Structure 1
Amino acid sequence: MSVLPDPGASRAVLVGTSQYEHLEQLPAVSNNVQALADLLRGPLSLQLPDRHVTAVENPVAAHAVLGELRRAATEASDTLIVYFAGHGLVDAQDQLVLALPHTEFGRIETGLPYDWVRQVLLLDSRAERHVVILDCCYSGLALGRMSAGTGLADQAAVEGSFLLAAAAETRTALAPVGETYTAFTGALLEALRQGIPSGPALVDLGTLYRHLRLTMEARGHPVPQARDRNSAARVALGRNHANLPAWPVAAAAVADAPAGPDERPWPDPRAIRTVTGFLTALADVRVVSGLTQKAVSGRSAGSMTAGTVGRLLNRPDLPATWGTTAVYLSACGVPDEQITHWQAAWQRLRTQSAPAEAARPAATRDGGSGKPRVWQRPMSTFRRRRDH
């Protein structure tokens, strides 16, 4: 079963080298990194918080990349996404080297050996799943060409991960001059933004790889390679936007739908680890239902106004009570047995956040401003508290 990572427990490190001192310039790589970062933060993909997406452009040396990667690897407990775009070289031992701005052909100390990245993922990462996307050349034999050879997936493989590599024979088509993106990353962005016609509800990595392979081959571009370890191919990078319900769906139409097993791709509350993940999945429920906020309100039998629905889906913290969330889920059409799992996730997160809530100063709880609510106490009491 495909699963969307919890955005609160996931991280992405996107590395791109577009400017080189000794190799051909790749200006499209800068667009790659910025567009992919925006996509991962936005509603068309994982909706990662801004601080969970790190873009490293034109790093001065290997340590600049490895430092950010190590930090993200220790923070992520769900999924860690690592992306590199730029030139790739092959050293004397036929190992992949990621080219940085000062990299010189034949001087491996000026690049970033992929094996160093692999070691960080193996030794320092707390994440259950790794997604590694390599959009790079493999030989650097010709200016402006992004090349590859056989066996790249085997060389770059990381245990417990899904590797997606844009590797093929030497061809200028992989980085067309004047294009906004490199060919591979452009196709990747297109699939996540527009969806995959006739594809599943979630764009998991296995589906994405097969689609990219067909797309690149049809365009006469080099075809990608992939390696799946421990079923990481089921990790999804977003919902299939070519397979969403027609929106908006009338409340009456949902109410009149024939009875039977509900096979809509509802978010799985059992995969939720964080408050951010809970709130993101809660908003995703309405997307899957196809209902507007007004329609959800209409199906709640007067229990929720459209404004209440909006506030529930745009709040920054976990709902303090369960009732409103239960009404919302039921109004959206979520099956009762799944609502039970939602309540269990809510209760687990409430329990986890209780120690942090208790540690906050009493004056800042529930107020939001951080200022003592002095108007609720006699002045003498306030002075005693201030003096302490």
Structure 2
Amino acid sequence: MSVLPDPGASRAVLVGTGRYEYLEQLPAVSNNVHALAGLLRGPLSLQLPDRHVSVVENPVAAHTVVGAVRQAAAEATDTLIVYFAGHGLVDAQDQLSLALPHTEAGRIETVLPYDWVRQVLLLDSRAERHVVILDCCYSGRALGRMSAGAGLADQAAVEGSFLLAAAAETRTALAPVGETYTAFTGALLDTLRQGIPGGPALLDLGSLYRHLRLTLGARGHPVPQARDRNSGAQVALARNHADLPAVPVAAGEAVGERPWPDPAAIRTVTGFFTSLADVRVVSGLTQQAVSWRSDGRISAGSVGRLLNRAELPATWETTEAYLSACGVPEDRIALWQLVWQQLRTAEASAGAEIPAAAPGTVSEKGRRRPFSVFRRGRAQ
């Protein structure tokens, strides 16, 4: 089952090298990283908090990138996204290296071996899921001939992950003249923003990969490649905005068929409120309409205050009224209540002062841990 990561327990590190002292310039790379960072932080994608997205642009040394990835790997417990855009090189041992601003062809001490990043993900990461996106290429003679075969994906793969890699053969294919973004990242951004007509409710990496192959192939660009380890293809980067409900929930509608956020994927308070706001988006209702459908249980102002809270509500009634008014099925509302109680209990265990649960809330005996469809893996 595809799932959107909990933004409170996820991290992203976006690395871009577009300025080079000895290699060809890639001016579109800067646009890549900043546009992708904005998208991951915004409502069209994962809504990651600003502090959970690290942008490393034109790093002067390899340890700058490795340090940023290591910090994110230590903090993320749900999903860790690592993105690189720039030149990719192949050393004498046919290993992938990422070019930095001062990289010189043939000078191994001036590159970032990709295996350093991979080892951080394998050995130091607490995240259950890893997403690696590489918009780079191999550099051939004078960078005039660039190609990427199956070896790139094989080298970059990490257990419990999904690798999505651009396969650019020429600089023009990688960064078309006059375009704002590189070909691969531009297509990825367009898909996340606009969705896939007729596609799944959640744009998981498997669906994105298949769509990008068709889109880039139709444009005459090299098609990407991918490696899926331990169900990594089920990680979603956005809702499919092309197929979100165009009309509000109507009386008698089979509301259970709507792509409601999955409360089982919520692990943090940030994720709770992000998913709660997403419920209204899926319902197609305005805040005023939600209030009207609640039969006076909550006002439009109360809806806004609920969705903009930083701390969990002390009682359950307002959240329940909101979910019910949005059209969420009763069995799914019960799952939301379980998650609310679990998060409150976790805060209490951490020393936060939380008022006693309201009458009728889930008991200690009834709590259970949300189900996760992923497990961490290790390379064999």
TM-score for the superposition, normalised by structure 1: 0.88
Give per-residue Cα distances to partners, 1:217-239, cap 9 Å, x unaligned. Answer: 00000000000000110100010
Distance 1:127 1:13 in 2: 13
Alignment: residue pair count? 354
8 Å contact 1:11–1:52 — kept in the other structure?
yes
**Aligned pair partner of 2:310 in 316, 333, 338:** 316
Distance 2:289 2:351 in 1: 35
Distance 2:108 2:166 in 1: 21
Say whether 1:346 aligns with 2:369. Answer: no
The aligned residue for residue 137 of structure 1 is 137
Distance 2:256 2:20 in 1: 54
Could you tell me the percent identity over the aligned residues? 81
1:242 deviation in Å?
0.2
8 Å contact 2:11–2:53 — kept in the other structure?
yes
TM-score for the superposition, normalised by structure 2: 0.90
155-164 or 217-226, which deviates more:
155-164
Say whether 1:110 aligns with 2:110. Answer: yes
8 Å contact 2:137–2:148 — kept in the other structure?
yes
1:170 deviation in Å?
3.7
Q: How has the CA–CA distance of structure 1 residues 52 and 212 changed in structure 2, closer, same or farther, with 3 Å as cutoff?
A: same
8 Å contact 2:41–2:48 — kept in the other structure?
yes
Q: Aligned-pair RMSD on alpha carbons?
A: 1.5
1:168 deviation in Å?
4.2
8 Å contact 1:146–1:175 — kept in the other structure?
no
Q: AA paired with 1:296? A: V
The aligned residue for residue 371 of structure 1 is none
Distance 1:168 1:151 in 2: 14
| Aligned pairs (5 A) from 1:321-332 | 321-332=315-326
The aligned residue for residue 17 of structure 1 is 17
Q: How has the CA–CA distance of structure 1 residues 320 and 261 changed in structure 2, closer, same or farther, with 3 Å as cutoff?
A: closer
Distance 2:181 2:285 in 1: 35
Distance 1:172 1:93 in 2: 27
1:177 deviation in Å?
2.1
Q: AA paired with 1:141? A: R
List alignment gaps of at least 5 residues for structure 1.
Answer: 361-388
8 Å contact 2:137–2:169 — kept in the other structure?
no
8 Å contact 1:88–1:99 — kept in the other structure?
yes
Distance 1:144 1:188 in 2: 25
**Aligned pair partner of 1:289 in 283, 298, 309:** 283
Give per-residue Cα distances to partners, 1:295-318, cap 9 Å, x unaligned. Answer: 111110111111111111111221
The aligned residue for residue 386 of structure 1 is none
Distance 2:82 2:125 in 1: 12
Answer with 1 or 2: which has the greater Rg: 1
Distance 1:266 1:239 in 2: 10
The aligned residue for residue 176 of structure 2 is 176
1:108 deviation in Å?
1.2
262-271 or 8-17, which deviates more:
262-271
Q: AA paired with 1:257? A: G
The residue matched to 1:13 in structure 2 has which SS?
strand
Q: AA paired with 1:340? A: A
1:359 deviation in Å?
6.9
Distance 1:312 1:299 in 2: 16
Distance 2:69 2:270 in 1: 22
8 Å contact 2:13–2:82 — kept in the other structure?
yes
Distance 2:325 2:220 in 1: 48
Distance 2:103 2:311 in 1: 46
Distance 1:357 1:291 in 2: 37
Distance 2:353 2:199 in 1: 47
Say whether 1:257 aligns with 2:252. Answer: yes
Distance 1:134 1:35 in 2: 16
- Structure with bigger RCO (C-alpha 8 Å, 6+ apart): 2
The residue matched to 1:262 in structure 2 has which SS?
helix
Distance 2:250 2:222 in 1: 49
1:261 deviation in Å?
6.8
Distance 2:209 2:37 in 1: 20
8 Å contact 1:90–1:139 — kept in the other structure?
yes
List alignment gaps of at least 5 residues for structure 2.
Answer: 355-380
Distance 1:216 1:142 in 2: 25
1:358 deviation in Å?
3.9
Q: How has the CA–CA distance of structure 1 residues 181 and 358 changed in structure 2, closer, same or farther, with 3 Å as cutoff?
A: closer
Q: AA paired with 2:284? A: G
Give per-residue Cα distances to partners, 1:139-171, cap 9 Å, x unaligned. Answer: 253457754234211121111100000014345
Q: AA paired with 1:327? A: A
